[in-house]
């Protein structure tokens, strides 16, 4: 009798056994007596509360992990800055950005699988018994996602600006994805609503679903993207300025790096200028020589010393290329040829005068950040004069190729070199810019605004955005009307013949209407069945 009752209560069905096994680690037994959809599977209020809490935690973990994965995926443009920041704090180079992306993807897939299993079990009328190991995993995903979002928001809040910009590109496709998800959810919603024994329960089930669906249908009314535009209104492709040369192909700020930019058709060269203790301007981004030279092996006691406090003779002794082969600073770097490896490992620190001669010989624009020497440096108060002396007297570069960015002593610079293209590093009223003879703005890409770009262009002030590496971000800058971008990826962006995701308003309206009509038809059929 006992055996017969057990057999009546439990039986083997592979599909449900697998679902329950993965979700609850109950591989041999499952609840045979199904709870009809729309009815509660919990016998007591306490069971219902526990089940609801668990479902809420799984759903919350899924939402936070999705937000973080999207945010960090769109932050790929700035992974090198993130790794550089960690290098400054930890003292060694590692691709932490890539590790973080992999971990976020794994955790998201894990919590998504749990959510899918839970929905399948509910559709089969089974009670949810989340195994303790999955409970720990759920709280781990939730804790990791919330903590990561909080830390990045505090230390790197500008990434939310990147996320907002990304919506101008991805929003139409995210809209389609969200509608597709709602169509998939319509089956369990309809099943539970139709079989519910009370009207109140039906309203509780269907009401929020329809409200969300209506919201998604109307989202495109408030959607804006500069890449949705009429045919023939797209401006010319932005010019490409190599950020410290081509740092994905060669050691940054070296002769090889700038040559690679020129080889791949870059329109300009960007760099950073420091002045040595004996007055020789040279190219170096960091305040110390630790990251991009072998200073640790040659002068171990000088790793923390400011780069400007070394003489030029000492700087010439250092290798500026071996670190590139060892650390591989970009996660998307391809393999170098044997010839490129040999050339890279023999790079040295580059003088400003040589850099300017190279740019002049190839008719390339130059723009650079000029760093003031530290206290007690011989050229602390004459740094701009010394730099001008090199540009005008030693390099021989044609002045109109120089985009002068430094704001100190701008009036003096204009009087000495009136042919320089005066460039400002921040937004300002058009009247103020024209008064200072500004002809170009050099802005962080997070300040991108098609309205501002058009406003400045009417006053013959062009806009350069930095640092733009990802094709989607370059496409957005192109559609927004930017005249040039500073990039680490000249070799990649040069191959784009038109912006990604470019479409006319008519094409977008057709896509929007077809998506909504198709989803309404499918959902209606599902509810009718």
Instruction: Please write the tens of the pLDDT for every residue from 19-33.
Output: 777 777 766 554 444
* Claim to verify: residue 68 and residue 134 sit in the same structural domain: yes
Do 271 and 360 have their domain in common? yes
Task: Decide: 273 and 371 in contact? Cβ < 8 Å.
Answer: yes
What local confidence, expressed as pLDDT, does residue 45 receive? Answer: 44
**pLDDT in the model for residue 11:** 47
In this structure, the number of other CB atoms found within 10 A of the CB of residue 134 comes to 22
Residue 423: is its pLDDT beyond 80? yes
> What does the chain come to in residues?
529
474 lies in the same domain as 509 = no
Of all residues in the chain, the percent with pLDDT exceeding 90 is 72
Q: 3-class DSSP state for residue 405?
A: coil
Q: What is the mean pLDDT of residues 244-264?
A: 97
Q: What is the DSSP string of 357-378?
A: HHHHHTT-EEEEEEPPP-TT-T
Residue 73's closest CA among 94, 96, 102, 95? 102
Mean pLDDT, residues 293-305 taken together: 95
Q: Which residues contact 442 (CB under 8 A, 6 or more apart)?
A: 367, 403, 405, 423, 424, 425, 464, 466, 486
Q: What is the mean pLDDT of residues 260-272?
A: 97
Residues 54 and 164 reside in one and the same domain: no
Dist CA 405 CA 463 (whole Å): 13
Is pLDDT of 460 > 70? yes
Residue 325 forms part of a structural domain = no
Task: Confirm whether pTM is higher than 0.85.
Answer: yes
pLDDT in tens, 159-186: 999 999 999 999 888 999 999 999 988 8
Both 423 and 510 in one domain: the answer is: no
Q: What is the pLDDT of residues 356-414, one digit of tens each?
A: 999 999 999 999 999 999 999 999 999 999 999 999 999 999 999 999 999 999 999 99
Domain that holds residue 437: 240-286+352-495
**H-assigned helices in 348-493:** 352-361, 383-389, 410-416, 430-435, 450-458, 471-480, 490-493
428-463 residues labelled b (16+ CB within 10 A) or e (exposed): eeeeebeeeebbbbbbebeebbbebbeebeeeebbb
Query: Looking at the domain assignment, is residue 300 inside a domain?
Result: no
The answer to whether residue 118 is domain-embedded is: yes
Q: In which band, very low, low, confident or very high, does the pLDDT at 223 lie, cut at 50, 70 and 90?
A: confident
Give the tokens for residue 44. 């007591």
| Tally of domains in the chain | 3
Residues 79 and 47 in one domain: yes
- Same domain assignment for residues 271 and 411: yes
The answer to whether residues 130 and 265 belong to one domain is no
If asked whether residues 401 and 452 sit together in one domain, one would say: yes
178 CB-contact burial (10 Å; exposed 0-12 / middle 13-18 / buried 19+): middle
Same domain for 490 and 370: yes
Q: For 129-158, what is the mean pLDDT?
A: 92
Residue 100 lies in a domain: yes
Last residue of a domain, one of 111, 133, 156: 156
Same domain, 171 and 220: yes
Cα separation, 377 vs 381, in Å, equals 9
In a domain, 309, yes or no: no
Residue recorded with tokens 């400003």: 352
Q: Is residue 324 part of a domain?
A: no
183-215 confidence digits (pLDDT tens): 988 888 887 787 777 788 888 888 999 999 999
Let me know: does 348 contact 319? Beta carbons within 8 Å.
yes
At 474 the pLDDT is 97
One domain, residues 82 and 97: yes
* CATH number of the domain that residue 445 is part of: 3.20.20.190
Query: Is 318 inside any structural domain?
Result: no
Q: Evaluate whether residue 299 is within a structural domain.
A: no
């Amino acid at each position: 009798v006992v055996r017969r009752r057990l057999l009546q209560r439990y039986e083997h069905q592979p599909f449900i056994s697998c679902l329950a096994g993965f979700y609850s680690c109950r591989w041999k037994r499952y609840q045979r007596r199904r709870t009809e959809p729309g009815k509660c599977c919990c016998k007591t209020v306490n069971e219902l509360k526990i089940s609801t809490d668990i479902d809420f935690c799984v759903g919350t973990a899924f939402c936070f992990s999705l937000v973080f994965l999207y945010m960090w995926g769109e932050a790929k443009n700035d992974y090198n800055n993130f790794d550089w920041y960690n290098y400054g704090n930890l003292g060694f180079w590692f691709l932490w950005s890539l590790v973080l992306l992999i971990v976020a993807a794994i955790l998201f897939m894990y919590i998504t699988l749990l959510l899918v299993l839970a929905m399948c079990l509910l559709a089969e009328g089974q009670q949810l018994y989340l195994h303790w190991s999955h409970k720990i995993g759920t709280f781990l995903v939730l804790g990791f996602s919330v903590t990561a979002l909080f830390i990045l928001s505090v230390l790197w809040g500008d990434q939310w600006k990147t996320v907002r910009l990304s919506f101008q590109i991805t929003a139409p496709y995210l809209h389609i994805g969200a509608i597709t998800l709602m169509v998939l959810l319509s089956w369990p919603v309809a099943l539970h609503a139709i079989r519910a024994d009370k009207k109140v329960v039906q309203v509780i089930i269907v009401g929020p679903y329809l409200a969300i669906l209506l919201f998604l249908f109307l989202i495109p009314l408030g959607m804006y993207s500069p890449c949705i535009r009429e045919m023939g209104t797209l401006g010319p492709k932005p010019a490409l300025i190599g950020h410290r040369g081509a740092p994905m192909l060669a050691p940054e700020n070296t002769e090889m790096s700038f040559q690679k930019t020129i080889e791949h058709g870059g329109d300009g060269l960007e760099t950073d200028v420091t002045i040595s203790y004996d007055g020789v301007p040279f190219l170096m981004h960091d305040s110390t020589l630790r990251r991009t030279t072998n200073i640790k092996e040659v002068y171990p006691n000088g790793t923390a010393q400011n780069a400007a406090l070394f003489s030029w003779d000492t700087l010439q002794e250092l290798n500026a290329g071996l670190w590139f082969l060892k650390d591989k600073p970009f996660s998307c770097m391809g393999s170098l040829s044997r010839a490129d490896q040999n050339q890279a490992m023999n790079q040295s620190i580059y003088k400003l005068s040589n850099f300017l001669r190279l740019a002049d010989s190839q008719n390339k624009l130059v723009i650079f950040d000029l760093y003031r020497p530290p206290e007690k440096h011989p050229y602390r108060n004459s740094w701009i004069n010394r730099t001008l002396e090199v540009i005008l007297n030693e390099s021989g570069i044609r002045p109109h190729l120089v985009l002068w960015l430094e704001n100190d002593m701008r009036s003096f610079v204009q009087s000495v070199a009136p042919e320089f293209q005066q460039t400002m590093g921040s937004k300002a009223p058009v009247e103020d810019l024209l008064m200072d003879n500004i002809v170009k703005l050099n802005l962080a890409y997070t300040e991108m605004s098609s309205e501002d770009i058009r406003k400045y262009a009417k006053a013959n002030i062009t806009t350069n955005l930095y640092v733009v590496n990802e094709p989607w971000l370059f496409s957005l800058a192109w559609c927004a009307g930017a005249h040039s971008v500073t990039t680490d990826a000249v070799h990649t962006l040069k191959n784009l013949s038109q912006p990604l995701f470019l479409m006319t308003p008519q094409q977008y309206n057709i896509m929007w209407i077809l998506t909504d009509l198709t989803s309404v038809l499918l959902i209606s059929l599902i509810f009718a069945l």
